Amino acid sequence: MRGLRVSSIVVGLALMLGACHPGPSSVDGRRIAEANQHPGDWVSYGRTYDEQRFSPLTQIDDGNVGRLGLAWFADLDTNRGQEATPLEIGGVIYTTTAWSKVEAYDATTGRQIWSYDPKVPGDWGVKACCDVVNRGLAMWKGKLYVGALDGRLIALDAKTGRPVWITRTFGQDTSYASTGAPRVVKGRVIIGTGGAEYNQRGFVSAYDAETGRLDWRFYTVPGDPSKPDRQPSDQPLRDIAAKTWAPGTWKVGGGGTVWDTIVYDPKLDLLYFGTDNGDPWNQRYRGVRGDNLFLTSIIAVRPETGKYVWHYQLNPGDEWDYSAVQPIILADLKIGGRTRQVLMQAPKNGFFYVLDRKTGELLSAKNYVTVNWAKGIDLKTGRPIETPEARYSDTGKPWVGVPGPLGGHSWNPMAYSPKTGLVYLPANEAGFPYQEDPAFKHEPLGENLGLDLSGGGKDPDYAAQKAQLASLKGYLLAWDPVAQKAVWRADHPGPANGGVVVTAGNVVFEGSYDGKFAAWRADTGKPLWSFDAQAPIMAAPMTYQVGAVQYVAVMTCGGGAFGLSAGLPGLKSGHPHQLCRLLAFDLGGQAKLPPLPAASRPPLNPPPATATAEVVHQGAELYGRYCGICHGGSAVSAGVTPDLRYTPLLASDGFFDVVLGGALRSQGMVSFSRVLTHDQAAAVRAYLIQRANDTKAAQAKGEDLSAG
């Protein structure tokens, strides 16, 4: 179904003027670098190479944004997470959806022009830690580039959506996954991978934009020393990184994947990317203590060769999933009386970093959210001043870290306004209990963290989980990167909120996980407007202009790591009828979303809980390792994937047909027979039965926070 609100006069004017706009064939490095000469288009993921997500458009401003209304909407054919920022070139919107599908729409009406489905195998979903999402496209000389979840890099004709070429970025016998938007620089399509928890080794690759031929590859952690990579990355790995790892850790991958955040600086001709956590998280299982380069680092290389230039490591020897894959913004700031070319990042660890982007020199770093793992960052050494208790693998004691792996800020894009001098970022306050798993061993399926994820298995009242849920919060933060301090913040009902765009009209737009799409004054944070989108918003908005009309567009739907694993009640992610859409707004828009179907659940009628406490606890540990990432912590689903407390399979042997036999493989539920015995699967079922009975009893009392 499509919602439409455009008069025939506006349509005619838009098409006439849109035809004069440079089309997809004009998009190259110069066009991206000179994006401000065509302010109405959004030609790159972050609009420009510097990833500032700042639009010069002013038709919608802080004085009239209250008149913003829905212009049109397009329903998507999925209820999985949406993280893409659409592109708009020449009056056409291009975007990706879950499962790496690509769509093209008329930017003034929402009419679908074409769609492309790469038909990613459903069972690849088990290899994606954080949902089957995709964060967007790259455009170059008439072609669109998308990284499919299963590792295919696909070039599409922008006019027709038909494939021009397809290449494999990794082997099909691996557990990598591709969710990030490619970047095109100097005729090379540059893309990384995910999979740091799945026994994989991180790398970034560059492919010829015309042919798909591999040009170069930069590995981020050392590999088998007897098989040198013979790439430009081999020398820094051999000379710098190898000595910071224990011998032999390459056999289990190492981690350090690059699943997002690839940024190019045409002024300095440098390509920057951030790297992920180690494999496993717990450093004890990566061998002797060391920095483990290049984990959790920002790396600068030459885009034509991949030759190493510099690196800065945020968390030496990381064991908290404090990755550095979060968005990077480039800007020129006046610091200490002189203009500096800087790189800015608000990574998971809670500190806002400002680096000299030519040299990697640390200029400043202050915490932008509450942190308890470090007292600060030493500006002389660039190293964090860790609190001893944070090293849970050293102390052997459980520790609640703030931030947790959700991060003070995750992948959700932030924005910078050169008019206000502020960075606008979606911030989180969310702790996490880190506890070593003494019986850990690497497995070929599921995440390898080295942590005890039994959750509520030791606590029949689930008090710890309830307290953790109650402590979660999030907000839109306006941050002064020169003074390193907060200027204003707007609180949200929960964490993991949407990405951000800011405009010259002094307006900041952001969505939130409770389904609100809203606008604030960029300078003061005054609320200006909001819209009920009927679904969580994780993706970043963008804005474009066709003819005389400026639009703001955003993708809706919950999911991702938080949406799959957190299971927060009371948020629209728990609505069983989550509808994913692309929404577009303009001044005076009159389109309406249809009402949501009534929320309903099947009756909770589990079989009796008869297993021993020991078996239930074993099931909780196994569930935490293999199931919780998709079906929710403590067996509370957010509604994107099935809530296993409600499944009728708990009362039949059909449970084993699915878990061990792979009966639902085509839907993403692969067989776990490689890692679970029948008795272990039975323990998982016993845990789910116990959780279902506990939930049913709590519902009867009206007091369960984890009832979903």
* Dist. CA 563–CA 570, nearest whole Å: 13
Half-sphere exposure in the Cβ direction for 513 (13 Å, CA):
33
Report DSSP letters for 357-402, one per residue: TTT--EEEEEESS---SEEEE-TTT--EEE-GGG-HHHH-S-EEES
The dihedrals phi and psi of 189, each to the nearest 5 degrees, come to -90, 120
Phi first, then psi, for residue 354 (nearest 5°) are: -120, 115
- Buried b / exposed e across 602-634, counting CB within 10 Å, b at 16+? eebebeeeebeeebbbbbbbbbbbbbbbbbbbb
- CA angle 357/362/366 to nearest 5° reads 120
- Out of 321, 452, 514, 704, the active site residue is 321
- How many residues can be counted in the chain? 708
Distances (CA, A) of 176 to 150, 153, 602, 632: 8, 13, 36, 22
User: Based on C-alpha coordinates, what's the Rg of the chain?
Assistant: 24
Please give the single-letter amino acid code of residue 464.
A
Q: Are 98 and 81 in contact (CB under 8 A)?
A: yes
d(CA 101, CA 112) in angstroms, rounded, equals 13
580 and 82 Cβ atoms separated by less than 8 Å: yes
3-state SS track over 245-313: CCCCHHHHCCECCCCCCEEEECCCCEEEEECCCECCCCHHHHCCCCCCCCCCEEEEECCCCCCEEEEEE
Q: How many Å separate Cα 286 from the centre of its chain?
A: 25
Which of 540, 520, 528 lies closest to 478, judged by CA?
520
Query: What are the structure tokens assigned to 537, written together?
Result: 């918003």
Q: Which residues pair with 205 in a beta bridge?
A: 191, 217
Q: Which residues, 6+ apart, have CB-to-CB distance to 497 below 8 Å? A: 412, 426, 474, 475, 476, 510, 511, 512, 513, 537, 538
* Whole-angstrom distance, CA of residue 473 vs CA of residue 403: 11
Q: Which residues contact 356 (CB under 8 A, 6 or more apart)?
A: 340, 341, 342, 343, 363
Cα–Cα distance, 411 to 324 (Å, whole number): 10
d(CA 110, CA 86): 13
> Is 321 one of the annotated active-site residues of the chain?
yes
411 φ/ψ angles, rounded to the nearest 5 degrees:
-75, -20
3-class DSSP state of 591: coil
By the 8 A CB rule, do 401 and 434 touch?
yes
DSSP state of 345: E
Say if CB 527 and CB 65 are below 8 A apart: no
**Spatial separation of the C-alpha atoms in residues 34 and 330, rounded to whole Å:** 15
Chain-centroid distance, C-alpha 155: 23
Residues carrying an active site annotation: 321
